[in-house]
Amino acid sequence: MAKQSRKLNVAMIGYGFMGRAHSNAFIQVGHFFDLPYELILKTVCGRNRAAAEAMAAQWGWEEAQTDWQSVVTRTDIDVVDICAPNHLHAQIAMAAAEAGKIVLCEKPLAMNLAEAKQMASAVRRLPNLVWFNYRRVPAIALAKDLVGQGRVGKPYHYRATYLQSWGADPERPGAWRFRKTEAGSGAMGDLLSHSLDLALMLNGVITEVTSLMQTFTPNREVDDAVLALTRFANGSIGTFEATRFATGCQNRNYFEIHGAEGAIRFNLEDMNRLEVFDRNDAAGVQGSHNVLVTGLEHPYTSHFWPPGHIIGYEHTFIATLADFLDCLAKNEPFHPNFDDAVEVQKLLEAVETSARSGSWTRP
């Protein structure tokens, strides 16, 4: 790892939607944050040479490759970033770990819990990251701060719905997401994993789950929707719903927390806002504060634009990367990492088990 030079050469494996989001983050992070490293977009790697070359040309990668095995062992590569389809995560991550690289990987981390554990074990001594990017939505980071400050108080309810509608559209691209061998699961791994990661961050350990998985589409291999009830270690209870069949919703990653002192509500389709209820407001003016999370006093936002100028989806990747590089320079642990993703994977496995058995299941 070229630490002394403070340059980091990046190889990205994959070039789809996530490849664009990651490329953007690698390029933009240094514009908005003072970085301890210079990131070099060394190589982008994908099965289809023309597509990889188009990606390289558009986003400024120095070169395009098609053979990830040779890329991840190259001595001039410091960082391997994985955004290939889910079923490839493990082998790429293991090989990169074997080669001693910094490993960044898209979510869901693995096809199953066993694989996830193996991967986490492989990278344990290496800097690593899983792209649960929504932790760094400024409004969600603010939610975490408020929870940490006790503004919500003892929690009673956690409620998460991740609602999309494209599963009902047969013309929609991204077909690998419907194949069990490549995606592992449907709404569960794609959407519920995000909701669970946020729940773990905001409300702690989940001790029990009962669930229902549903495939509405004939002959589809993966779940279109998944529902779950949960118990948390802190005594609160939760409902979770992730679906690709919520007509009218596009990317409604939503959660609410109700506690003894307050409540919090977030919706990714309105991601620069956080609704905050404070039971300690004067009685006559109690009501959810509609907070535009773009202020100088909010997490991350002062790095972007002045107050009142909203940010978009891609900034969540930029903020994630900035924090990761900061931890890297300070030699501090970064979250969410592979171990954090294992916790999510345990829950996904419990959800699947419960959906089969019809019983409450402990992860």
In the region spanning residues 54 to 83, those forming contacts with its own copies, defined by CB under 8 A, are 58-60
Using rule CB under 8 A, residue 27 touches its own copies: yes
Specify the residue, 156 or 176, whose C-beta has the smaller distance to its own copies: 156
Q: At what angle do helices 49-59 and 17-32 cross, to 10 degrees?
A: 20
User: Three-state secondary structure along 222-244?
Assistant: CCCEEEEEEEECCCCEEEEEEEC
| Segment interacting with its own copies (CB under 8 A) among 95-103, 108-116, 243-251, 327-335 | 243-251
Kindly identify the residues of this chain, within the stretch 127-146, that bind its own copies according to CB under 8 A: 142, 145-146
Specify the residue, 124 or 154, whose C-beta has the smaller distance to its own copies: 154
Q: What are the φ and ψ backbone dihedral angles of 74, each rounded to 5 degrees?
A: -65, 140
Of the candidate residues 220, 258, 335, 346, the single one contacting its own copies (CB under 8 A): 258
Residue type, 230: T
What sign has the CA pseudo-torsion 25, 178, 190, 254?
positive
> What is d(CA 17, CA 22) in angstroms, rounded to the nearest whole number?
9
> What is d(CA 220, CA 64) in angstroms, rounded to the nearest whole number?
34
Distances (CA, A) of 28 to 154, 260, 303, 315: 39, 40, 11, 9
Using rule CB under 8 A, residue 170 touches its own copies: no
CB of 69 to its own copies, least distance (A): 28
CB of 266 to its own copies, least distance (A): 13
Rg (CA), the chain: 20
DSSP string, 51-99: HHHHHHHHHT-SEEES-HHHHHT-TT--EEEE-S-HHHHHHHHHHHHHT
Report whether 99 contacts 75 (CB < 8 A).
Answer: no
Using rule CB under 8 A, residue 254 touches its own copies: no
> What is d(CA 178, CA 186) in angstroms, rounded to the nearest whole number?
6
Report whether 165 contacts 244 (CB < 8 A).
Answer: yes
Specify the residue, 104 or 137, whose C-beta has the smaller distance to its own copies: 137
Token pair, residue 326, equals: 């900061």
Kindly identify the residues of this chain, within the stretch 211-230, that bind its own copies according to CB under 8 A: 211-212, 214, 216, 225, 227-229
CB of 146 to its own copies, least distance (A): 7
Name 54's Cβ contacts closer than 8 Å, sequence gap at least 6: none
CB of 58 to its own copies, least distance (A): 6
CB of 275 to its own copies, least distance (A): 8
CB of 193 to its own copies, least distance (A): 17
Of the candidate residues 161, 195, 203, 320, the single one contacting its own copies (CB under 8 A): 161
> What is d(CA 262, CA 12) in angstroms, rounded to the nearest whole number?
42
Of the candidate residues 260, 330, 332, 362, the single one contacting its own copies (CB under 8 A): 260
Size of site (CB under 8 A) for its own copies: 94
CB of 79 to its own copies, least distance (A): 20
Of the candidate residues 46, 108, 186, 262, the single one contacting its own copies (CB under 8 A): 262
CB of 253 to its own copies, least distance (A): 9
Kindly identify the residues of this chain, within the stretch 339-358, that bind its own copies according to CB under 8 A: 358
SS3 120: helix
Of the candidate residues 1, 2, 30, 180, the single one contacting its own copies (CB under 8 A): 30
Kindly identify the residues of this chain, within the stretch 273-332, that bind its own copies according to CB under 8 A: 275-279, 281, 283-292, 294-295, 297-298, 304-315
CB of 204 to its own copies, least distance (A): 17
Specify the residue, 47 or 159, whose C-beta has the smaller distance to its own copies: 159
